[in-house]
Amino acid sequence: MDPASNICYIVGAMSLTPDLRPYPVSGDYVIAADRGFDSLMAYGVPPDLAVGDFDSLGHRPNHPNVIQLPAEKDDTDMVYAIRKGLELGYRRFILLGGVGGRLEHTLGNLQLLDWLALHGAQGFLAGEKTAATCIRDGGKIIFPPSMSGYLSVFCNSGKAEGVELSGLKYPLEDFTLTGDFPLGVSNQFLAQEAPVSVQSGSLLLIWEDRGDFYSQLPQLWAR
C-alpha cells in the first residue's frame, strides 16, 4: 500500500474517552509517544512503534519496536514521531492527546500542524472537545453541513492573504488576516457546507469536536 494514502496516528497521553480511540486499518501506522503507550494499550490498540524519553511513562515499554530518546533534546517526542511518519512516507497525520495539558505543549503541537503543511502533509490535532488543522498557500478545506458549534480561523503569523470563508455566520471574501489580531475567533457553522481557503500564508482552524471527529475526517482532508 502507498503510505501517502493512509494515516499515521501519533498518540500522546490523553483522556480515555471512546470518542478519541483510534481505529487504524491495514496500511495505517500507529506511533505511541511516551505515555501514549499506556493510552493505546488501555484502548486495546497496540502501536507499531513506541518513541520517547519515557519520563512521563516512567519506564521503557515492553514492546518489540522501541526508540528511546534522550531526556535532553531539541525535538519533543511528538516531533520525533512526526519525523518518523514523514520518513516512512505518510502524509496524513492524526495527532491525539496533544491538547489540554501543559499550555506550552499544546501551543507547540498547534505549530506542528503548520510544519506538516510546509512538508506537503496534513495533520489533525484532536483532544477532548477540540480539534484543529492547518491549511496554507492555496489550501482549502470544506466542512460538511453536519458540523455545528464554533469554528475559529487564525493567521499563524505575518499575513494570510486571499482568505475566503463561506457558509458561516461571518463570511469573508478575499480578506487578509494578520497574526497580531484574532478577527476570526468564534465564527459559527450554519448547517450548510462551509468552505475555507487561503491564497497565501497559513491558517490555523480550530473547532469544537462533538464526538464525531472520525466521521468528519473523510470530508475534511484538504482538497
pLDDT digits (tens, 9 = 90+) for 73-120: 767 888 899 999 999 999 999 999 767 667 787 888 889 999 999 999
**Grid cell for residue 103:** 499550555
Cα–Cα distance between 113 and 86 in angstroms, integer? 13
Task: Provide Rg for the chain, Cα atoms.
Answer: 17
- pLDDT on residue 52: 86
Residues 14, 34 contacting (CB under 8 angstroms): no
- pLDDT on residue 1: 62
| Residues contacting residue 18 through CB under 8 Å, at least 6 positions apart | none
| Banded pLDDT at 193 (limits 50, 70, 90) | very high
Residues 111, 204 contacting (CB under 8 angstroms): no
| Residues contacting residue 115 through CB under 8 Å, at least 6 positions apart | 82
Q: pTM of whole model > 0.85?
A: yes
